[in-house]
Amino acid sequence: MKKIKNILVPIDGSKNSLRALESAITIAKPVGATITGMYVVDAPRVLDYGVVQSVKHELFESGKKILKKAKLLSEKNGLNFKEKITLGNPDNDIVAYSKILKPDLIVIGSRGLGGVKEVFLGSVSNHVMHKSLMPVLIVK
């Protein structure tokens, strides 16, 4: 088995994404892996608001706060934490960024802040699981 050096964790602030972060920390701690937290400002949500700059800015600031908490938790556990914030479509952006980052593992919550359509498995985690070239751990 390949040694885990870098773990990508998409974080949206939901309880499941925070559980995914905790699981990533548990995996990363014994091997000293780096955790890369990723927050995607959902472009369709921004467009629903008519792309008002203040709303876009608010969503980016929210992402920064969420990643700051994730960084503090990771560093508290002695781990290096990197962050990535993008504006786009969460499922596509996560897969695209994983092709650039090439993490050894993606740890993602089973359901995030999405809507009711996510009955059994969240649409984002489902998409990432099927489209990723890297191993994916889905945390419930």
> CATH code at 118?
3.40.50.620
- Percentage above 70 pLDDT, the chain: 83
Domain range for residue 75?
Answer: 6-13+33-139
In the chain, helix, strand, coil percent, each to 5? 50, 20, 30
Residue 33 near residue 122, CB atoms below 8 Å: no
28 in a structural domain: no
Based on the structure, what is the number of domains in the chain?
1
Q: What pLDDT, on the 0 to 100 scale, is given for residue 70?
A: 98
Angstrom distance (rounded) from CA 35 to CA 122 = 22
Residues of the chain with pLDDT under 50: 115-121
CA-based radius of gyration for the chain = 14
Q: What is the pTM of this model?
A: 0.88
State pLDDT tens for residues 6-24: 999 999 999 999 999 999 9
For residue 132, give every residue at least 6 positions away whose Cβ sits within 8 Å of its Cβ, in sequence order, or none: 94, 95, 98, 106
pLDDT recorded at residue 51:
56
3-class DSSP assignment, residue 73: helix
Phi first, then psi, for residue 64 (nearest 5°) are: -60, -40
End-to-end CA, the chain: 24
